[in-house]
Amino acid sequence: MSSTGEIQVKGDRPDKDKILAAINGNDKIQEEIRTTAAISSQTAGIADSLKFQKEYLASSDPESVVAKYSYLFNSSPRYHDISLSFDGQGISVMEDGKEWLSSAA
């Protein structure tokens, strides 16, 4: 998906246009893809928060931990690049270009 919420199909696939047409022709599928991406994005943010909390509690220098994770506390939070990959067997969630979660169908 793009930053505007538009669903995109990427890759070197001969059926890319057919896949995109099938997605755009079905409001339910579009909504399910958007919902999956939104949940994945929120989960990535929660993971950042949990990392901060663990480091903060274990640190002898909590100010340095707060500085490291300062993006969690300002008005310009860090956004993760979330993409979804379907391979016919299941879905993979990519976070910032790395596989974060994979499940078989």
Per-residue pLDDT tens over the stretch 26-84: 889 888 888 888 888 888 888 889 999 999 999 999 999 999 998 888 877 677 777 77
What is the pLDDT, as a whole number, of residue 56? 97
What is the pLDDT, as a whole number, of residue 24? 83
Mark 60-86 as b/e (b = at least 16 C-beta within 10 Å). eeeeebeeebeeeeeeeeeebebbeee
83 touches 76 (CB < 8 A): no
Position with higher pLDDT, 53 vs 12: 53
